Structure 1
Amino acid sequence: MLDARTAKMLPWIVAIAFFMQTLDGTILNTALPSMAADLQENPLRMQSVVIAYMLTVAVLIPASGWIADRFGTRRIFFGAILLFTLGSLLCALSPSLNMLVGARVIQGIGGALMMPVGRLVVLRAYPRTELVRIMSFITVPALLGPLIGPTLGGWLVEYTSWHWIFLINIPVGILGCWAAWKVMPDLRGAERTRFDLPGFCLFGAAMLLISIALEGLGEMHLPHVRVLMLLLGGIACLAVYWLRAGHTENALFHPRLFNTRSFAVGILGNLFARLGSGALPFLTPLLLQVAMGYSPAQAGMSMIPLALAAMLVKPLANPLINRLGYRRVLTTNTLLLGLLIASMALIDNDSSRIQLLVQLFLIGAVNSLQFTAMNAVTLIDLPDADASSGNGLLSVVAQLSMSFGVAAAAALLGGFTLDNEDSADGVLRAFHATYLCIGGLSMLAAALFLQLPRRGSRHRKKDIPDVDD
């Protein structure tokens, strides 16, 4: 049992860590053009800074629970905040894009451990009767991060320099390290389990190779033969992992998870539907600054409706799903989300600010409903024995799909920019074509959600963790 002081302080420590991570995930996008100018890079080829972090988090999430059980939650949570803070400092000091990407990987290692271990501590330290209250408390700062991040990033870039979007993490990180070491309980798993190291390497290699293949079409301009080889290598690693996991007792993610139909549909639907969700925060600040001449502060403030609508719609999601069912909500909402993303192709220099804000508000509202419904339908029918593993795979797919979304958007944007380089408004046309393609790709997930039963899982009620918070 926790003493009174620890029980009171622990939620604050975890909440601050969640806030640091979600703020960092949204503050960066607005600063990309300024970072590119300072590092003498093309602003349309800065996606590796975003992808490096997301991919590192996705690769390491499966190992986070085992690492915490093996070495203790206090040591790992302290180390996670320390690595995240050190990575932030190295990002601010980076003189080149390659060094910045390396520093983002260090940040990602810390981030991959911070949120899962924080959730694990709360789950083990408090009685089930207190769990909903504590989880609600620690997720509020995670919701505020996307609301504050773009505006703060734009303001810091415009009135100071892009280095400060990383430097602001340092005092918070130092305070978090001290508090974690003093207050965080040192909890470990009841049983010592073997870690599936070969499976982890195969699964991580598959994600890495596929991501580099997508990056090769965009920023790195790799020859198509090399991209094809990387892609086939990634698929081969994934196939070997899958065949091996079927007869491995301690597999990271057992194939039996996909025997649950709603889980299989939800995971595949997440993979496609989140492409647009991942691409949008990357594309839109670039569109506003590079193609339409907005200042960083103006671009950051324009992103507020996206996060504000997401917060406002969240309480409405459950009543709507209970009334209409998962199949109808997800199929309709996915098509609507794709259309709204594609509608960003209507934004140009003649568009009013009101039109832009309304479109972003609608996208934020629909996107929030999409996340809630997808997360719930993916996990709600899983047996209790598979719930933890299923939630872990959902977290990985969420990060991976958004990483793929950024990579795909950057590749499309680069290709369309070359096709329109002779046109006076070629960059704007390239953005419009990219939005249309990303919107169309997102809509493909509707065909997957049609495979859900007509009644879905409306008869079952569970508390579903939101992997986006």
Structure 2
Amino acid sequence: MSWFSRASALPLLVAGAFFMENLDGTVIVTAMPQMAAAFGVRAVDMNIGISAYILTLTVFIPASGWIANRFGARNIFAAAVVIFTLASVLCAASVNLPTFTAARILQGFGGALMVPVGRLVVLRNTAKPDLIKAIATITWPGLVAPILGPPVGGFITTYASWHWIFLLNVPLGVAALWLAWRLIPQEALQKGVPFDAIGFMLTGIACFGLMFGLDLINHPQLSWLVPVLCILGSLALGALAVRHAKRTAHPLIDLWAMRIKSYAVTIWGGALFRIAIGAVPFLLPLLFQIGFGLNAFDAGLLVLAVFAGNLAMKPFTSAVLYRFRFRTTLVVNGLLNAATIFACALLTPQTPTWLIVALLFVSGLTRSMQFTALNTLAFSEVPQPQMGGANTLFTVSQQLGSGLGIAIGALALRVAEMLIPPSAGRLPLVDFQLAFGVIGVIALLAVADSLTLNPDAGSEVRRKKSPSSAPAGADESVATKARS
């Protein structure tokens, strides 16, 4: 297979695997009542299956970089696809909640390896000038799946059965495994680097505790003290993990890339942006159902306008990044994104449907553009030897940012309820207006961080590749293949 075709096909392979993983994490939501009935439990009890999956992802993602270097990225990516696919079969075969939860934990372990290792494969085998197109390709699953998941899950559950939500992963997994073995080049293994067990425990417990504490916010029957103590304890462990990473010779998560300004902005400002866009898909269906009184189906149709905006922007993201500087794109597009979030606070049941759809469509456009710009800028100035550590830290930041978005959206609703008690004669709509206002401010803070970028940040990946250039890592891969 030529290097041109391999360089083009690798991002598509990884994007397909990402879509399978991302869709599986969201499609289950609408199937929960039917699954609960099959397991003989309450629908609310099914949350443990979702939580177990997310928490497993959070704990094991930090170890993915070391595992890929030690056993080979191709081997680990293929193994992750196998684990994820087999776990999907076990989910479909589950007969009660404990067996389903165990299968979801196994599935989460596969996903924790598949996502970061897949991105690492693309980064190591893509030349800098090709990075914009490659990142644009592997970014779309994270944009599309959260919006597409609920209606797809509802369709499958209504016209087939909830088992097919998981069984559909089998042919996808088999195809991904075959293509991975064909497309991903074998790499030299790094056998001399010890596993950072202390870093793994500190990072894993900190991430687990933070996500668990954030999840507790969604349980109003609990005292505020419980999630607050859990979150504060996790932050303290996180600080110890950072201190350990700076002092040990071979840290599990290498923080070296944080010295690069463009990368640091995608971590700090990028986390704020991911919080904002993670909260919006959580708040919108609740706004339309509780605030507007729509049924779940009609609310879902309105939210699909965001998905349409995501898809409509995708063909143009690369052209925009080649035409305009990263700082300009992130600032202008970030302001537009924040404006759409603030505009959501102004929606009422009397707002014309066409105007709501238009607003959400524009929101999807800006969401897609910002996502691609941040994901590309993150690795634009990172040297190849540091790519593994940078990728692991970036993936952890992505996972935590998404979880924080839902938690902060829920927290904003709870605070609004406390500030404006029911006795004041308020409508539920006021809660959502305050929540969208808070999320809009967070989106603006992300833009402020982008203003600190150097005007020429990421310029290397904005240069068009010459026809004679080869993908990054090609020479090493050819040599490795020749030796084998």
Normalised to the residue count of structure 1, the TM-score between the two structures is 0.79
- Residue in structure 2 matched with residue 108 of structure 1 by the alignment: 108
* Cα distance change of structure 1 residues 265 and 138 upon mapping to structure 2, 3 Å threshold: closer
- Residue in structure 1 matched with residue 213 of structure 2 by the alignment: 213
Deviation track 1:175-221 (CA, whole Å, cap 9, x = no partner) reads 35874798687945433122222112212222222222222222275
- Residue in structure 1 matched with residue 467 of structure 2 by the alignment: none
Cα distance in 2 for partners of 1:411, 1:396 equals 22
- Asked whether the 8 Å contact 1:26–1:150 carries over to 2, the reply is yes
- Residue in structure 2 matched with residue 358 of structure 1 by the alignment: 358
After superposition, where does 1:267-286 map in structure 2 within 5 Å? Answer: 267-286=267-286
SS at match of 2:247: coil
- Residue in structure 2 matched with residue 235 of structure 1 by the alignment: 235
- Residue in structure 2 matched with residue 461 of structure 1 by the alignment: 461
- Asked whether the 8 Å contact 1:30–1:285 carries over to 2, the reply is no
- Asked whether the 8 Å contact 1:213–1:230 carries over to 2, the reply is yes
* Cα distance change of structure 1 residues 57 and 161 upon mapping to structure 2, 3 Å threshold: same
After superposition, where does 1:16-415 map in structure 2 within 5 Å? Answer: 16-29=16-29, 40-41=42-43, 52-72=52-72, 76-89=76-89, 91=91, 103-120=103-120, 135=134, 139=138, 142=141, 145=145, 148-160=148-160, 164-170=164-170, 172-173=172-173, 175-176=174-175, 179=178, 187=186, 189-192=188-191, 193-219=193-219, 221-321=221-321, 324-415=324-415
* Cα distance change of structure 1 residues 113 and 150 upon mapping to structure 2, 3 Å threshold: same
Is 1:438 the counterpart of 2:439? The answer is yes
Deviation track 1:57-100 (CA, whole Å, cap 9, x = no partner) reads 34322322332344455654454234323544555577888876
SS at match of 1:460: helix
Q: What letter is aligned with 1:190?
A: L
Cα distance in 2 for partners of 1:432, 1:34 equals 32
Shift of 1:133: 12
Cα distance in 1 for partners of 2:34, 2:426 equals 21
Q: What letter is aligned with 1:379?
A: F
Q: What letter is aligned with 1:235?
A: L
- Asked whether the 8 Å contact 1:11–1:122 carries over to 2, the reply is yes
Cα distance in 2 for partners of 1:399, 1:186 equals 27
Q: Please, which moves more after superposition, 280-289 or 260-269? A: 280-289
Shift of 1:132: 7.1
- Asked whether the 8 Å contact 1:206–1:237 carries over to 2, the reply is yes
Cα distance in 2 for partners of 1:64, 1:219 equals 32
Q: What letter is aligned with 2:447?
A: A
Cα distance in 1 for partners of 2:94, 2:287 equals 25
Normalised to the residue count of structure 2, the TM-score between the two structures is 0.77
* Cα distance change of structure 1 residues 178 and 276 upon mapping to structure 2, 3 Å threshold: closer
Q: Please, which moves more after superposition, 226-235 or 355-364? A: 226-235
- Asked whether the 8 Å contact 2:215–2:407 carries over to 1, the reply is yes
Aligned length: 459
Shift of 1:269: 0.2
Q: What letter is aligned with 2:446?
A: A
Cα distance in 2 for partners of 1:186, 1:311 equals 30
Show structure 2 runs of 5+ residues with no match. Answer: 465-470, 472-484
- Asked whether the 8 Å contact 1:150–1:303 carries over to 2, the reply is no
- Asked whether the 8 Å contact 1:152–1:300 carries over to 2, the reply is no
Show structure 1 runs of 5+ residues with no match. Answer: none
SS at match of 1:341: helix
- Asked whether the 8 Å contact 1:420–1:429 carries over to 2, the reply is no
SS at match of 1:377: helix
- Asked whether the 8 Å contact 2:213–2:227 carries over to 1, the reply is yes
Cα distance in 2 for partners of 1:400, 1:113 equals 16
* Cα distance change of structure 1 residues 180 and 76 upon mapping to structure 2, 3 Å threshold: farther
- Asked whether the 8 Å contact 2:128–2:461 carries over to 1, the reply is no
Q: Please, which moves more after superposition, 414-423 or 238-247? A: 414-423
Is 1:451 the counterpart of 2:457? The answer is no
Cα distance in 2 for partners of 1:207, 1:146 equals 22
Q: Please, which moves more after superposition, 206-215 or 364-373? A: 206-215
- Asked whether the 8 Å contact 2:92–2:163 carries over to 1, the reply is yes
Shift of 1:362: 0.8
Q: Please, which moves more after superposition, 336-345 or 78-87? A: 78-87
Deviation track 1:234-279 (CA, whole Å, cap 9, x = no partner) reads 1221221222222222113334322222222221001111111112
SS at match of 1:207: helix
SS at match of 1:444: helix
Cα distance in 2 for partners of 1:429, 1:82 equals 47
- Asked whether the 8 Å contact 2:131–2:376 carries over to 1, the reply is no
Cα distance in 2 for partners of 1:441, 1:56 equals 27
Q: What letter is aligned with 1:391?
A: N
Q: What letter is aligned with 1:287?
A: L
